[in-house]
Structure 1
Amino acid sequence: MRDRSELRRIGALFGPYRARLLSVLALIALSAGLSMISPFLLREILDHAIPRRDTTELTWLVLGMIAIAIITGGLGVAQTLLSNMVGQRVMHDLRTAVYRHLQRLSLAFFTRTRTGEVQARIASDIGGIQSVVTSTATSIVSNITTVLATIFAMFALDWRLAAFSLGVLPFFVWMTRRVGGERRRITAQRQGRVADMSSLVEESLSVSGILLGRTMGRGGELAERFTAESEELADLEVRSRMAGRWRMASVQMSFAIMPALVYWFAGQTSAISVGTLVAFTTLQTRLLFPIGSLLSVSVDLQSSLALFHRIFEYLDLPVDLAERADPVELADVRGEVRFEGVTFGYDADVAPTLDGVDLDVPAGSYTAIVGETGSGKTTLGYLAARLYDVQAGRVTIDGVDVRDASFASLARTVGLVSQDTYLFHASVRENLAFAKPDATDAEIEAAARAAQIHELIASLPEGYATVVGERGYRFSGGEKQRIAIARVVLRNPPVLLLDEATSALDTETERAVQDALDRLAAGRTTIAIAHRLSTVRDADQIVVLDRGRIVERGTHEELLERSGRYAALAAQGDGGESRSTASA
């Protein structure tokens, strides 16, 4: 039943291109009809034109055969063009559908899924079905049409020879279905290994992976692991190619033996003319090749079903961050953020990460969130940006539930600077303009100046055209962080989330980045998830989280006077610099 359901879904992919498909079918039918005329012309040549030495009739019959060959060749080219156009559009639709669907999933999916696995689904799996969607569908129709037309012509020539030739076909069909099932199982295993290899390459040959492998002395072990994965993939490829090869060889031998058997059968009766016999074996050849092609295609189709299943698995993933049908457009945002009875957990089997949190962040204020590792600090910030949805309660901006806001307006409203800065392998200008594609050079430079990174960029030989390298490895941690800050400045959001943006920096670099952050936060509603308590001393309010609940709130001085949880965190500082033990 799953196969039938997926076959219906595959068929639906071709729905938008019915007109072109009908044109292809018309070309196929016309080509098949014309090609069936040639054997009858051949019979006339052998039984009448040559024995009578009628050169005029012979010339016209030969010209007819030549014309049919030229016309069917041209029709075949047109058919191939149209079918490939349809197939490539279907592949394009699949790729974009998977990509767009994955874009709508929450961070939870990407935290538990390897990047290489996602890449394999989009590139390898969809690439693996190319032959099926570009040529296999039309090949099936073409071959079926040819087979039906050929069978009709064979019976028209001689019903006895036709019945004798067709008697063995059910055996071929049964044999091929067994081969297809075996190929399908192997294909599913093979694609799993491709995904494993993609993940290994993604992880071990990235800049971070190379650094880790070399500094840990594990390069040789990684190479051996890749070798083992590659060897297993090679074995699966061989098994896939050889699956049922002996059975298919038997089928091919049967096809070769059939004409000889027809000659033997025809020799048992004197009622069949030489012209009819030669024309019939010509038709038989035209029947055997399409049937062989259909049998081979059925095997490939069975294998491709495994790929389609993997693709449909991703398309069927539930969208847990859906936009409302009539979303609210956030405009003229003041920036008041409220958390009302917010509860959220990553795993239903464990205690929630946040449990009944109530928090008001007034417009234009600076609120710091502090706490031990796992207290829920980062989660609280991510809920404000709707990177996840609350399981109870709500988060509002200016009184609008973030679940009711449009994604575009929410992205314009809330800006995030995290400690894990991500830069594309592109120029500095392109990385900054990602926040505002229509930004002018003056706007980009102004944002860089605000983030105190303009002078450094301008001093580079290629300036803003400098390619940052994979994940920005051409720049130091502090420089990357300031580029990320400039990117947010360019976007100019009224609400700012700072997710431990300086926790991984040394003291000197932290001061430069913190100065840029202070400029960025001026006049905005800012929620800072703090690692070093010294960076949030001047916050309008400091909120202390412990095991998903707010246990304290107040200013720096007020919380120290209470000698509570905040004071304990501050006491863990060293050398006068207050810091919490770790990030959330």
Structure 2
Amino acid sequence: MIRLLLRVLGHEHARPMRRTVALMTAAAVAEGLSYALLVPVLRALFGHAPSDAWPWLISFGAAVAVYAVLRYLGDLSGFRVGTAALRGMYHRLGDHLARLPVGWYDRDRVGELSVLAGPGVLQAMSVLAHLLAPFVSATVTPLTIVAVMLAFSWQMGLAALVAVPVVAAVDVWTGRSTAAADAARTEREQDATGRVVEYLQAQPVLRAGGRTTERFHLLDDSLRDLRRASRRSALAALPGALGLTLTVQAVFTALLALGAHLALGGSLGPAQTLTLLVLAARCADPLLSLTDIAGKLRGARHVLARLDTVLSTAPLPEPADPVRPVGHGLAFDSVVFRRGGRTVLDDVSLSVPEGQRIAVVGPSGAGKSTLLHLIARFHDVDAGAVRVGGVDVRDIGTDGLTGRIAVVFQDVHLFDGTIEENVRLGRPDASAAEVRAAATAARLDEVVERLPGGWAAHVGEGGALLSGGERQRVSVARALLKDAPVVLLDEVTSALDPVNEAAVHEGIERLTAGRTVVMVAHRMRTVRRADRIVFLDGGRIVEDGGHDELLRRGGRYAGFWNLSSHPVLPRS
């Protein structure tokens, strides 16, 4: 458990954690040893001179004081280390997630990361602040007491020692019997969280379909499964809890009977017998609490294992000596890319000279957006190479590559801040005049003038307070402010109204002027302005050429053009 915790947190926390464990262990040992002083105390009290108990009582009080100080220092250290570890865990997890390939973030991980980054991290880090001290006390103190019992009566000590592996076996059995149920509950919890997010995101669709009063069956089923899994998890832990309780009670009863037998036989005096029974009773309390503590530790360990899996996910490798591209041309050299067991791009070779615009068209699922993702290195290719300025993107480095590329996607995400803050993401060190100029070029200034608060107006979570066209203008302004030599456009006007489409097109024209551009588009108005057109289908380039040239060939692009220019209307 400690090794896993250190692996997740990082070895910079190793020394303070070892110090914390040492303090907690010392406190538990001091607690157990302090009970040894009860033997001379009770012996004196039951003897001919009860006043002889005072020195032993003072020693007992001093031992308890030492234990109290050690327990305070151990608990305080646990809280401090836990707080530092929590802060460090959030930083480490956030930094690692920021370095993972963008393609790693699929829909299935929404619920997992939501649970893991929220209550999951808190549960895992609570081990240091709330669980470690009780666990050490529940294990080390009884073992110390057993050693004390061995020192005063080998028969009683040996009987207590025999019970140690029995209690440990019951605890291990409980953990194994609940592992599957706990894992199933965690899986259902992640699925339910994802369904809640999906339900919230689907509100516009549900309301448009007039289903606001209906139950969302996918969410209902997921919550029902979570309830069943939670019930199974609780029932699975019940036999272990009862088994440990019965085992501890049976051991105490056996020690009570053995102590009475030894006392009646004259092997033990009354004071010694009473003290050893008190020690045995003192062992029972922490052992009975072990079930609850161990259950919480197993839950925390499961979260730590999931955190370890995420943190062990390798980010895209960075070059030791990044190469700086000379130009800004693009090239695909026999690129093969697979995802989910499917070949998305198959032996694609394509060159885009510096300053040229190329449009990529084709049916849905042909791999068009994947071309853009590979240029931006959201994924690494399985074979071949993607080059910018003649240099493999894997040899450029993330900072060098992202500094040369501006990306405008169809789905624009804005952060819950002001419009100016969202535009500044393109270049945080830009001056106010540069931000205003980029906004004007994207015709975003028209939006700012309409908003209460102007530049200080908040856009809401995900840009919810702006329309789709207005969010797209922010995205274009952000790209203009970045002023990168390579521009990637992905269906930026496919769902805009005519007014916003015209404004975005105007901004796109300014953005792409003199730059190397790869655009994925369905609108023929956008396609015709390209210097070259590539028709992609089934992960392969089936046609490549200029607009007029491809129309004269009468191939796939010509059919696509005719269908887009003269759509077939349904019969009335």
TM-score range, shorter chain: 0.7 to 0.9
Residue equivalent to 2:508: 517
2:568 & 2:501 partners in 1: Cα distance?
Answer: 16
Aligned CA distance change for structure 1 residues 373 and 258 (closer, same or farther; 3 Å)? same
Aligned CA distance change for structure 1 residues 138 and 454 (closer, same or farther; 3 Å)? same
Residue equivalent to 1:358: 349
Q: Residues 28 and 145 of structure 1 are in contact (CA less than 8 Å); yes or no, is this contact kept in structure 2?
A: no
Q: Residues 35 and 145 of structure 2 are in contact (CA less than 8 Å); yes or no, is this contact kept in structure 1?
A: no
Residue 246 of structure 2 corresponds to residue 250 of structure 1: yes
1:480 & 1:471 partners in 2: Cα distance?
Answer: 9
TM-score by length of 2: 0.87
Q: Residues 177 and 299 of structure 1 are in contact (CA less than 8 Å); yes or no, is this contact kept in structure 2?
A: no
Residue equivalent to 2:42: 46
TM-score by length of 1: 0.86
SS at match of 1:390: coil
**Structure 1, gaps ≥5 residues long:** 1-5
Residue 444 of structure 2 corresponds to residue 453 of structure 1: yes
Matched residue count: 565
Aligned CA distance change for structure 1 residues 219 and 259 (closer, same or farther; 3 Å)? farther
Residue 144 of structure 2 corresponds to residue 149 of structure 1: yes
Aligned CA distance change for structure 1 residues 461 and 27 (closer, same or farther; 3 Å)? same
Q: Residues 405 and 488 of structure 2 are in contact (CA less than 8 Å); yes or no, is this contact kept in structure 1?
A: yes
Q: Residues 33 and 144 of structure 2 are in contact (CA less than 8 Å); yes or no, is this contact kept in structure 1?
A: no
Residue equivalent to 1:491: 482
1:420 & 1:311 partners in 2: Cα distance?
Answer: 29
Residue 278 of structure 2 corresponds to residue 282 of structure 1: yes
1:86 & 1:218 partners in 2: Cα distance?
Answer: 50
Give matches, 1:360-399, under 5 Å: 360-399=351-390
Residue 210 of structure 2 corresponds to residue 214 of structure 1: no
Aligned CA distance change for structure 1 residues 459 and 217 (closer, same or farther; 3 Å)? closer
Give matches, 1:281-300, under 5 Å: 281-294=277-290, 296-300=292-296
- Per the TM alignment, residue 189 of structure 1 is displaced from its structure 2 partner at its CA by 0.8
- Per the TM alignment, residue 453 of structure 1 is displaced from its structure 2 partner at its CA by 0.5
Q: 1:230 aligns with which of 220, 223, 230?
A: 223
- Residues 202-226 of structure 1 show CA distances to partners (whole Å, capped at 9, x for unaligned) of 11013xx111222234445545554
- Per the TM alignment, residue 580 of structure 1 is displaced from its structure 2 partner at its CA by 13
- Residues 487-537 of structure 1 show CA distances to partners (whole Å, capped at 9, x for unaligned) of 111221110011121111123321111001101112221222221111232
Q: 2:185 aligns with which of 159, 177, 190?
A: 190
Q: Residues 370 and 531 of structure 1 are in contact (CA less than 8 Å); yes or no, is this contact kept in structure 2?
A: yes
- Residues 43-62 of structure 1 show CA distances to partners (whole Å, capped at 9, x for unaligned) of 3333225745564x544433
> Which one-letter code corresponds to 1:280 in the other structure?
L
Residue 10 of structure 2 corresponds to residue 20 of structure 1: no
1:228 & 1:360 partners in 2: Cα distance?
Answer: 50
Aligned CA distance change for structure 1 residues 131 and 286 (closer, same or farther; 3 Å)? farther
Residue 528 of structure 2 corresponds to residue 537 of structure 1: yes
- Comparing 170-179 and 553-562, the one that deviates more: 553-562
Q: Residues 263 and 273 of structure 2 are in contact (CA less than 8 Å); yes or no, is this contact kept in structure 1?
A: no
Q: Residues 490 and 521 of structure 2 are in contact (CA less than 8 Å); yes or no, is this contact kept in structure 1?
A: yes
SS at match of 1:111: coil
> Which one-letter code corresponds to 2:111 in the other structure?
G
Q: Residues 104 and 322 of structure 1 are in contact (CA less than 8 Å); yes or no, is this contact kept in structure 2?
A: no
**Structure 2, gaps ≥5 residues long:** none
- Residues 226-269 of structure 1 show CA distances to partners (whole Å, capped at 9, x for unaligned) of 44433443343344334223323323533664564355334422
SS at match of 2:170: helix
- Per the TM alignment, residue 85 of structure 1 is displaced from its structure 2 partner at its CA by 3.5
- Per the TM alignment, residue 445 of structure 1 is displaced from its structure 2 partner at its CA by 2.2
1:438 & 1:297 partners in 2: Cα distance?
Answer: 51
Q: Residues 354 and 547 of structure 1 are in contact (CA less than 8 Å); yes or no, is this contact kept in structure 2?
A: yes
> Which one-letter code corresponds to 2:156 in the other structure?
L
Residue equivalent to 2:306: 310
Residue equivalent to 1:412: 403
Aligned CA distance change for structure 1 residues 87 and 185 (closer, same or farther; 3 Å)? farther
- Residues 122-172 of structure 1 show CA distances to partners (whole Å, capped at 9, x for unaligned) of 334444434445454454444443233222211222223323444444433
Aligned CA distance change for structure 1 residues 511 and 387 (closer, same or farther; 3 Å)? same
Residue equivalent to 1:117: 112
- Comparing 74-83 and 458-467, the one that deviates more: 458-467
Q: Residues 177 and 298 of structure 1 are in contact (CA less than 8 Å); yes or no, is this contact kept in structure 2?
A: no
> Which one-letter code corresponds to 1:211 in the other structure?
P
1:82 & 1:70 partners in 2: Cα distance?
Answer: 18
- Per the TM alignment, residue 35 of structure 1 is displaced from its structure 2 partner at its CA by 3.0
SS at match of 2:529: coil
2:180 & 2:377 partners in 1: Cα distance?
Answer: 40
Q: Residues 4 and 305 of structure 2 are in contact (CA less than 8 Å); yes or no, is this contact kept in structure 1?
A: no
Q: Residues 329 and 388 of structure 2 are in contact (CA less than 8 Å); yes or no, is this contact kept in structure 1?
A: yes
Q: 1:241 aligns with which of 234, 254, 258?
A: 234
SS at match of 2:394: coil
SS at match of 1:425: coil
Q: Residues 496 and 524 of structure 1 are in contact (CA less than 8 Å); yes or no, is this contact kept in structure 2?
A: yes
> Which one-letter code corresponds to 2:444 in the other structure?
I
RMSD after superposition: 3.2
Give the percent of matched residue pairs that are identical in Structure 1 and Structure 2.
Answer: 32
- Residues 382-432 of structure 1 show CA distances to partners (whole Å, capped at 9, x for unaligned) of 222122223333221111111211111111111111111122233323322
SS at match of 1:285: helix
Aligned CA distance change for structure 1 residues 74 and 134 (closer, same or farther; 3 Å)? same
Q: Residues 459 and 466 of structure 2 are in contact (CA less than 8 Å); yes or no, is this contact kept in structure 1?
A: yes
SS at match of 2:351: strand
Aligned CA distance change for structure 1 residues 238 and 266 (closer, same or farther; 3 Å)? farther
